[in-house]
Structure 1
Amino acid sequence: MYFVTPHGTWPAARPAPDGAGPQTALDALLAGPTRSERARGLVTALPAGTHRVRAQAAAGAVDLSLPWLVTELGREAVNQLVCTAAAAPGIPGGRQPADVVVRIHESGMPSGAWPVRCDENGAAAPVETRGPGR
């Protein structure tokens, strides 16, 4: 999972239980850093409270259904969600985290999902879409 440091988002490795997938990783992320992670300076930018992010794995992708609008979150919080989902175990297709497409579905928004990836710096980056003639 990804937490926040003064230098941006930072990965924190935790052992995954058998059968774990993106939902397990997102639930752990929302629970916040452990005592030892906090001692290393890792914090979260996600809103406090009992929020549920729903994560569903697909071939080479994860669909994230958020209880917030992306505009209600800071950049670091979005990075945490996207990069944790992309690096989670149990995503079919055998892709590296940087190649996993994370499709963000915002609460109350009727429009389609926002496709992003976790870049090499641990930041959410829009997936480039190319239309005909581009």
Structure 2
Amino acid sequence: MSTKIFVNLPVKYLERSKEFFTKLGYSFDPQFSDENARCLVISDNIYAMLLVEPFFKTFTHRQIADSSVSVEAILTLSADSREQVDELVDRALASGGSPAAETQDHGYMYGRSFLDPDGHHWEVMWMDMSAAQEQG
């Protein structure tokens, strides 16, 4: 069984979010995109559905978290190297994102983070798996 994951995220301005993630090098699946949603392709099996807040609200009776004062989730992306972590986070910051936390550098594991324009918390992590196994 091949499982895909679709993370649904509320956004205030759909085009702003599309422009931000396009600048980070991601693409969108037009089949699952319209005036209410953009399907952000993260990998072959991972997608983020960026949904305008009124449309997002049709899927829940609960309040949408105010990401300027609370965290609803931390989304973590893996990277192939420390350099790739820096490259992606630097692009995010230059494209309208803001820092989310201090850099984490444990030698065998390295990560940085950013908040997208809607305040969603993204981590980008690299780990040397052979060194991590020695640590554990």
Structure of higher CA gyration radius: 2
Greater relative CO (CA pairs within 8 A, separation 6+): 1
* Greater percentage in strand: 2
What is the TM-score normalised by the length of structure 1? Answer: 0.26
What is the TM-score normalised by the length of structure 2? Answer: 0.26
